[in-house]
Structure 1
Amino acid sequence: MLSNLEPLNCLQQPATNTLREVEAFLTEKPIEILTIIIEDYVQTPKRLINLFTNAGLDKYWFPVSKMPQKGEDWPTVTAMVQENHRLLVFTSIASKEAEGVAYRWRGASLFLENDFPTDPVQADACKEHSAILANMVGACYKAAGNVMPNFLVVDFYMRSDGGGVFDALDRMNGQVLCGCSSVTACQVLTTPYYLDEMPLLS
């Protein structure tokens, strides 16, 4: 996951506009899966779910009823694509599950690593997204019993002094897919949906 706090004027528009861009992306890319994790401040009942529905995203929605329970496995990427359940939305408010939006902390089947300061400072992002970020991912991996995060949350993801966020994600995916230090070092598989056995990392 990439959290973009780049120019705030980009974010000062109706949420429906952004969600329509998401809908266009999923329509144009029929094998892509997208996860949105919301720090939720929406108080009006069903307002959040209605925003997604009004943007035409309900047809891609991964239903709460199909979310893994009590340590169950997630479906494969192939199954999610075939069922067109390609949009996973999580909220920080548990009561929203009754409205059809998954609560993000229900279980440990997905591991999210937050890697940003409490007060985001754009000028510091280059330093934070360089060696420090790679070291922090490694430290969290070890602290979690050699479990790689599924999601990496950062501020100002386009800024770094080195490989940055995308390098960290490449290393994370390589470790999960084949135990390599980079996903590019993994042997290329030949099946159409070669991500079938790979956990969702973004």
Structure 2
Amino acid sequence: MIADNHRLIVFTSKKGKQGTEGLAYQWDYVVETQYGSEGMADGSCPKRTESKPMDSKAQSLVLLNFFTSNPSQSWACSNNSAPLISRLNACYHASAKRWPNYIAVDFYMRSNGGGAPLATDIANGRLQCGHDNIAHCKISSASAPAPASASSPAPASASSPSPAPAPDFAATSPAISSSPGPAPGPLNSYY
């Protein structure tokens, strides 16, 4: 990592570790949605109890949790499809019109179309160049400015093209993490 000029930022949820171990206190930097079944109501974006309000701009990072309390591969197939894109849009509005920097799901490779890679492509595209897909950023950045609707939500019926290879962007690009449980495929491809 050092040779490649990469950095690792470690957060802690224990405030005391900030001074004793030099770790960044999570709640000074991150707003986070409620995890588990309680946080999955359609059209809502409730904050995690410990988090500041989702629209607090004092924290520069947004973490979107979208997984049930009891991991289920079959539920993940439906949850990681249209409901995930719907949550992405709801949380964009609830988070003071900010796209998530992190998207946490169960079984990230499972969906009925697009899934977590599509949600990440949408969020990356919106963060980087205002388009609905990160693949359009390289094409448009050389020839045209971002569309006027750059800050608008992603289309509710986002199609599921093959996700483009993940470009190596700065820390503002969302990352997918998977909660504990067997997930098909290598997790490190979306760290």
Question: TM-score surpassing 0.5?
Answer: yes
Aligned residue for 1:150? 101
Verify the 8 A CA contact 2:62 2:95 in the aligned structure 1.
Answer: no
Moved over 3 A (4+): 187-190, 193-196
Letter in 2 for 1:102: A
Among 141, 155, 172, the residue aligned to 2:123: 172
Structure with greater contact order relative to length (CA < 8 Å, sep ≥ 6): 1
Aligned residue for 2:135? 184
1:194 offset after TM fit, Å? 8.2
Among 60, 63, 67, the residue aligned to 1:112: 63
1:158 offset after TM fit, Å? 1.7
CA RMSD of aligned residues (A): 2.5
Verify the 8 A CA contact 2:124 2:173 in the aligned structure 1.
Answer: no
More helix by share: 1
> TM-score, normalised on structure 2?
0.56
Aligned residue for 1:163? 114
Q: How many residues align?
A: 120
SS of aligned partner of 2:138? coil
Moved more, 109-118 or 174-183: 109-118
Moved more, 131-140 or 90-99: 90-99
1:100 offset after TM fit, Å? 2.1
Do residues 95 (structure 1) and 16 (structure 2) align? yes
1:145 offset after TM fit, Å? 2.0
SS of aligned partner of 1:167? helix
Q: Which 5+ residue runs of structure 2 have no aligned equivalent?
A: 30-58, 143-166, 176-191
State how far apart, in whole Å, the 1-side matches of 2:71 and 2:13 are.
20
1:143 offset after TM fit, Å? 1.5
Matches within 5 A, 1:6-155: 26=1, 30=4, 81=5, 84=6, 86-97=7-18, 98-107=20-29, 108-155=59-106
State how far apart, in whole Å, the 2-side matches of 1:117 and 1:194 are.
30
Mark the structure with the bigger radius of gyration: 1
Instruction: Describe the superposition over 1:27-48 as per-residue Cα deviations: whole angstroms up to 9, x where unpaired.
Output: 7x82xxxxxxxxxxxxxxxxxx
